[in-house]
């Protein structure tokens, strides 16, 4: 069964902006799904429509098989949303905000109180529970929105750039938290601009640009699409010249570091053979971690060739 099924979704805003041009998307139950795309691609518009805050112009949306046009309330009950922008009352305390949200889903106060304690503790907000939401830092506000979205324990959790403006340490702890939530069976869809985030967390990925899905595949397949892998080599001794023939596109970034590209028809053994013949000793080696960035830009360029 699909947690989220979107067919032919269209959105034209009042100002004639054609934000979605027939989006199809399927997210399997239990998946951890990334929706990637540049600014203005239409990610938040999709999320807005799924959370029934934006009216669609055409197409179908089903949440756990509940068609939003037919059984809206059933669909809503399965869904938790963390919006891109802060949207709570400035005058309410953190606890009031999450208890009210639970109340709107019909969850009794007592159960809501237990869940609030659980999620506030896990997200490091328990100390702040009685503070007014406007006094929280940006990172705390994001976590408060996550706690709020979990109060009714939705089967599908959608997060619109949950880690935007969040520091590295907190981002990592949010990743771990989301992975735990996913492991308990909650399907997660997130949008992000940090490709590293998608690569670390997500099993499946779709890329959207200008209101159209341009790629919809598994993370693995996407990464393997990348013909070349780049590696960073830390040298044991500095080397000054790179011997010919340089079939691995070796380049020196500083005296103790080399970078190499390996295409699909080459392999790492060949690289090492070449290096040891040249008398270059490698102390350590790592993957250059911007693979997805490169791929992303390449995909966007393929679809929109320069000068078009």
Partner 1 sequence: MGYHRIITAFLTIIIKEVTRFVRIWGQTILPPAVSMTLYFIIFGSLIGPKIGQMGGFAYMEFIAPGIIMMSVINNSYANVVSSFFGAKFQRHIEEMLIAPIPDFVILAGYVFGGVARGLVVGLVVTIVALFFTHLHIHSYAVVISIITLTSMVFSLGGFINAVYARNFDDVSIIPTFVLTPLTYLGGVFYSIDMLPEFWQGVSRFNPILYMVNAFRYGILGVADINIFHAFAIILLFISGLTTFALVLLRRGIGLKS
The CB-of-72 to partner 1 minimum distance in angstroms stands at 8
Per partner kind, with CB cut-offs from 5 to 8 A, the member of Mg ion, ligand ATP, partner 1, none near residue 83 is partner 1
Is residue 252 classed exposed, middle or buried when 0-12, 13-18 and 19+ CB atoms within 10 A define those classes? middle
How many Cα atoms sit within 13 Å of 60 on the Cβ side? 10
Would you state the structure tokens that stand for residue 24, as one six-digit string?
A: 């199809």
Considering only residues 19, 144, 147, 295, which one is a binding residue for ligand ATP as defined by CB under 6 A? 19
Q: Is 84 in the site for Mg ion (CB under 5 A)?
A: yes
Q: Identify residues 38-77 at the interface with ligand ATP (CB under 6 A).
A: 39-45
Q: Tell the smallest beta-carbon distance from residue 53 to ligand ATP (Å).
A: 10
Q: Among residues 15, 73, 90, 241, which is the contact residue for ligand ATP, using CB under 6 A?
A: 15
Of 166, 105, 97, the C-alpha closest to 132 is: 97
Residues 6 or more apart whose CB falls under 8 angstroms from that of 38 comprise 209, 300
Count of residues in contact with partner 1, rule CB under 8 A:
35
Q: Does 90 bind partner 1 (CB under 8 A)?
A: yes
Alpha-carbon distances, residue 248 vs 133, 222, 255 (angstroms): 54, 23, 18
Q: How many CB atoms lie within 10 A of CB 47?
A: 23
Q: In this chain, which stretch among 76-84, 177-185, 201-209, 257-265 interacts with partner 1, using CB under 8 A?
A: 76-84
Over the window 201 to 240, marking each residue x when it contacts Mg ion by CB under 5 A and - when it does not, the resulting string is ----------------------------------------
Partner interacting with residue 17 (select from partner 1, Mg ion, ligand ATP, none; CB below 5-8 Å by kind)? ligand ATP
Taking the complex as a whole, the smallest distance from the CB of residue 85 to partner 1 amounts, in Å, to: 8
**CB under 8 Å to 22, separation ≥6 — which residues?**
8, 9, 10, 59, 212
Q: How far is residue 172 from each of residues 179, 208, 223, measured CA to CA in Å?
A: 11, 25, 22
- Kindly state the smallest distance separating residue 68's Cβ from ligand ATP, in Å: 18
Q: Write down the least CB distance from residue 12 to partner 1, Å.
A: 11
Q: Which spans of this chain sit near ligand ATP (rule: CB under 6 A)?
A: 13, 15, 17, 19, 37, 39-45, 84
């Amino acid at each position: 069964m699909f947690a989220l099924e979107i067919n032919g979704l269209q959105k034209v805003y009042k100002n004639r902006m054609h934000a979605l041009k027939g989006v199809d998307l399927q997210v399997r139950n239990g998946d951890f799904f990334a929706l990637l795309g540049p600014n203005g691609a239409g990610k938040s518009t999709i999320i807005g429509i799924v959370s029934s805050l934006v009216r669609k112009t055409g197409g179908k949306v089903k949440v756990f098989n509940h068609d939003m046009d037919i059984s809206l309330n059933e669909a809503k009950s399965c869904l938790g949303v963390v919006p891109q922008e802060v949207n709570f009352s400035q005058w309410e305390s953190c606890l009031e905000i999450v208890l009210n949200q639970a109340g709107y889903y019909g969850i009794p106060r007592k159960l809501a109180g237990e869940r609030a304690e659980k999620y506030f503790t896990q997200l490091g907000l328990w100390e702040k529970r009685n503070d007014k939401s406007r006094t929280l830092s940006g990172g705390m506000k994001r976590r408060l929105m996550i706690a709020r979205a979990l109060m009714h324990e939705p089967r599908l959790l959608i997060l619109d750039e949950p880690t935007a403006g969040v520091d590295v340490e907190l981002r990592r702890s949010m990743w771990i938290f989301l992975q735990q939530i996913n492991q308990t069976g909650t399907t997660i869809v997130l949008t992000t601009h940090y490709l590293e985030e998608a690569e670390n967390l997500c099993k499946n990925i779709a890329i959207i640009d200008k209101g159209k899905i341009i790629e919809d595949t598994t993370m693995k397949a996407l990464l393997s699409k990348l013909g070349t892998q780049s590696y960073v080599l830390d040298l044991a001794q500095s080397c000054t010249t790179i011997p010919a023939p340089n079939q691995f596109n070796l380049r020196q970034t500083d005296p103790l570091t080399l970078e190499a590209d390996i295409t699909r028809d080459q392999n790492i053994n060949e690289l090492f053979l070449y290096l040891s013949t040249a008398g270059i000793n490698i102390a350590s080696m790592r993957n250059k971690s911007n693979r997805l960035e490169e791929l992303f830009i390449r995909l966007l360029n393929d679809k929109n060739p320069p000068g078009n």
